[in-house]
Structure formats: structure tokens, C-alpha cells
Structure 1
Amino acid sequence: MYTKERISTQFDLAPAASAPELMAGPTAEAIPTITGDVKAFAIDPQIADTAALLDATGLGPETSANCVLVSGTRSGEERIAACMVLANTRADVNKRVKKILDVRKASFLPMERAVSESGMEYGGIGPIGLPANYRILVDSRVAEADELIIGSGIRGSKLILSGPALASLPTAEVVEGLANEIG
């Protein structure tokens, strides 16, 4: 509960289900699919990037999970995944993600495409409300976290939920070793 307590001293937390204005449309529509408590809070869009938010709140990188969109093709079929990794790790795109997607080469989804397909803002993209054809790969460390800050689909807010709640998304797959430690 440390993250929620720390955030609540600086920002007003609201149940996400009752604050659709704090999320992108697809995110707000998908909130009911999550098992568990999800809170939303407004932020200055200038601190939407993970490092800026963590600096502003004094929280550590283990309290935040980033959503990285990756794609690759196999036999002409495109495969896309949203990789949820802690802010102190990096998705292992060249080995682990590539193997899971069963593609020769995995690359980050271009920003313009990620924004247009997700219906979310760059810098605010999160796993909740992504297109149904996107696999959601959740690093096991993310799935085990008590509380996490993730993107709400817009730069002007964030969501807080537990790792198990995130792993409850209908298309989520918990993956051991999806990310590597930074440094």
C-alpha cells in the first residue's frame, strides 16, 4: 500500500470506474474487465514519462510498469504484443519476446501506428483497452507486484492497480523472464 499512500498525499485518487475522463476511451471501456481495485489520478502531462513521474513523487522504478508495443511477422502474418515490464527493467525484445511471438525479428511498433491503433496518447499507452489482437505479455515481476502505476491512455493521468489485477486482463499472459534488469 506504500505506492497508493504516497500518491494519495500528492494527487487525488478516484475509483477508475467512476472517472472515465481520466482515461482514453478504450481504457475506460475496458476497466470493467479487470478483477481488482483500480484507481485513477490526474497528473500534469509534463510528468507523464516514467522518469519524470518517479522524480516528482519520490517513488522508485519498481513501483511503475511500462507498456512497450512490439511487432513482428511470420509467414506474412503480423504478431503484436504489449509487453508490461517494471521501470527498472527492459523488455528482452531481441530474444524472449521474439521467441514468444515466434517471429524472425521483433521491433517496436512505430509511434504513429501505436497511437492510431490503440486510441491512446503517446507517453500514456497502457495495456487496458488495447485492440483484441494485441497479446499482453506481463513480466512475472509485474504480475507479483502489490501496487503499480501504469498508463491510462492519456498523458494527463495514471492508474494504480495490483500486478494480479493487471494479469487478470482477458488476453494477459504472465511470462517469466520477459525483461532484463537495467544496468
Structure 2
Amino acid sequence: MRAPIGPFEDARPAPECLAELTGPVAEAIRDWQGGTPADRIVYVDTDPAIADTAAFVGHYGRELLGQSANCVVVAARRGGGTTLAACLVPSAGRVDVNGVVRRRLGARKVSFAPMATAVEATGMEYGGITPVGLPAGWPLLVDASIAGMPYVLVGSDRRRGRLIAPGCLFGLVPGAELIEGLAV
């Protein structure tokens, strides 16, 4: 199979690669109920040593920067409680944590979750966190521009490998909400 974007040599429908994924992501793909069929999600094998965005696009092609999205975990504090949520924004942008995210989550303060917290809460590797297979009940704030992208490259749950899926799929992930201006 040829990947819909990028120069990836090893590309396969994600439902055929469940053993390559952590439990929550494999389960989310196996049980996928969205309007876009699960076999439109493609798994591509990539080098874990260059998982960070700058190194990744430097190796696989700068055009991927405009076709990629980053999923980050944020911690929203209000009163004495903290709520974790995920945000998906184009890789060329950054999350408007102190504006859009803070208002949407009704928080007094929002910050990026510490790496250890993000890894423990998601069960995914840092540098590979993906919106597919997030913990049940988590809000997933998705920059609305992603839904209009033909294909989007995101983490796979580990530093090795990525998922490629139609942009519209990310608005169908459980807990997802499309938000204009999430990325600045």
C-alpha cells in the first residue's frame, strides 16, 4: 500500500497493525464506529530517533509540516480540581492555551501537562501521543482547520510510527469538538 501522503515505504491499514499499537489505540481502531471507515486510517513505520516534529519533517520532507498535527495534553485547573484534556492542532501552529482552551474548559489556569502525567494518563509514549484512543471522558479539542485537510499525519501512540487519516475523522473521535482558532 502507498501512503496517501509522505514518502513512507511501510504503510498499511491500521486495522492490520493492531499489534504495533498500544492497547487503548488498538482497541479504538478495532472498535471504530465513526463515519469514516477504520481502514482509511493508515499506519506508517517511522524512525523513533526522529519523532520530534522538526527532526521528522527534516528527514521525511518539509511538506509534511503542513500535513501534520500535534496532539498535546493540557491540565486545566479550577478550584481545587484538575481536568486533563487533549488538543489537536496543525504542527505549524501552537495551542492557544491561555485563551481558547482556558475559556472552553472553564478553567482558571491551563498549562501543558507534565510529561510524566501525560504519559501515565494516556498510556502512550511522549512524542507519540495521538487523539485516537485517549482515555474515556477526556475532552479532545480539535482545531477546525484539521477537519478540512484531506489527510493528516499524527502520532501513533509511540515514538515509532505515525497514523495518517482523513482530517474529518478527527472530529468523529469520542469527546472531540471542532474549535475555530484553537491554533495560533
In structure 1, the residue matched to 2:121 is 117
Deviation at 1:6, TM superposition (A): 4.5
2:162 and 2:48 map into 1 onto residues whose CA distance is 10
Q: After superposition, give the CA deviation of every residue in 1:117-159 in whole Å (9 maximum; x if it has no partner).
A: 1110011011111111320000011121110100110111000
Given residue 179 of structure 2, which amino acid in structure 1 is its aligned partner?
A: V
Q: 1:27 aligns with which of 15, 25, 28?
A: 25
Alignment of 1:122-133 (within 5 A): 122-133=126-137
The number of aligned residues is 177
When the two chains are superposed, the root-mean-square deviation of aligned CA atoms in Å is: 1.6
Asked if the contact 2:8/2:44 (under 8 Å) is kept, the reply is no
In structure 2, the residue matched to 1:53 is 56
Asked if the contact 2:70/2:154 (under 8 Å) is kept, the reply is yes
Q: 1:79 aligns with which of 70, 77, 83?
A: 83
| 2:74 matches 1:70 | yes
Q: After superposition, give the CA deviation of every residue in 1:45-104 in whole Å (9 maximum; x if it has no partner).
A: 012112222111212411100001111122333222210000111000011100001111
The TM-score with structure 1 as length reference comes to 0.91
The TM-score with structure 2 as length reference comes to 0.90
Q: Percent identity over the alignment? A: 41
Q: 2:13 aligns with which of 11, 15, 32?
A: 15
| 2:3 matches 1:4 | yes
Runs of 4+ in structure 1 displaced over 3 angstroms? Answer: 3-6
Alignment of 1:144-159 (within 5 A): 144-159=148-163
Deviation at 1:110, TM superposition (A): 0.8
Q: Give unpaired runs (5+ residues) of structure 1.
A: none
